[in-house]
Amino acid sequence: MGNYDVMQVCLNGHQITENYLKSPQFRKAFCTTCGQSTIHQCPSCGSDIKGAYHYERVISLGPSAPVPDICEYCGEDFPWREKKNRLVKELKENKGDNLFILDQIFDKFHLVVKQLRQRYNDRETLDVGDEYDVQDLLHSLLVIFYDDIRPEEWTPSYAGASSRTDFLLKDENMVIEVKKTRKTLKARQLGEELIIDIARYKKHPDCKLLYCFVYDPDGFIVNPKGLENDLNSDDQEMKVRVKIIPKGH
């Protein structure tokens, strides 16, 4: 005989802990993968989300239970299910809301990086260590959704900058810029560089939307939401979106 613990999940469907009661130290107010807030109860009926099963006097080390898509008490979809359904629908209809699709890729990017490290028998893998690795992996992921991806290599004008590849999605009039934070590229430097890049792309004839993807696995950016808000803009000439992931280190 035993009993179920409670599961805590972020609104994007990432599992935080399945031992919410037994190990309160693993609870998190925000998801460290994507920055979303977390729940442990159904938003519709308030029932606990079922977590790990604890046998009496047995320590379970089995794999964790999958995150459920619907509430078993009231039958309503959990918030993350609606997102999944919408992604499938967008792709089927092939009209693709680009910001929505890119958000899905960027939100999952850190999970993809971690998953790639889990190879059978420790075989060789793409381990994302620097900005070039981020570019290459992101390029591969974009191929799933976009047919015409044009890598644009250039050398930024800021001091000590090495050459970089951005991606032009010509049919979508969009440029995706990729950065990875490091000791010498924290919030202040990153903000300065992005301002220069934004000015540069305003002159680009094919760029109506600039999406800057910043990968910050080591948490050099202390206030990612603040930096995003400072730089995001809905300018008629060119929209700017900045996304820093993962958040909430």
From 73-81, 153-161, 185-193, 217-225, span contacting Zn ion (CB under 5 A): 73-81
Taking the C-alpha atoms of residue 112 and residue 137, their distance in angstroms, rounded to an integer, is 9
- Both tokens of 127, joined, read 């381990």
Among 10, 138, 207, 245, binds Zn ion (CB under 5 A): 10
Give the nearer residue to Zn ion in terms of CB position, either 12 or 181.
12
Q: Segment 139-178, which members bind Zn ion (CB under 5 A)?
A: none
Q: Which of 114, 137, 110 is nearest to 32 (CA)?
A: 110
By CB under 5 A, name the one of 23, 26, 37, 45 that touches Zn ion.
Answer: 45
Our finding on whether 7 is near Zn ion (CB under 5 A) is no
CA distances in angstroms from 204 to 46, 84, 160, 166, 237, listed in the order given = 51, 34, 23, 13, 11
Q: Does 41 bind Zn ion (CB under 5 A)?
A: no
Listed ranges 18-26, 43-51, 126-134, 184-192: which one lies at the site for Zn ion (CB under 5 A) = 43-51
Distance CA 124, CA 118 (A): 10
Distance of CA 40 to the CA centre of its chain: 21
Q: Smallest gap, in angstroms, from Cβ of residue 29 to Zn ion?
A: 12
Contact in structure between 35 and 247 (CB atoms under 8 Å)? yes
Binding to Zn ion by residue 71, rule CB under 5 A? Answer: yes
Q: Which of 37, 70, 74, 91 binds Zn ion (CB under 5 A)?
A: 74
- Phi, then psi, of 162 in degrees rounded to 5: -95, 170
Binding interface with Zn ion (CB under 5 A)? 10, 12, 14, 31, 33-34, 36, 42, 44-45, 71, 73-74
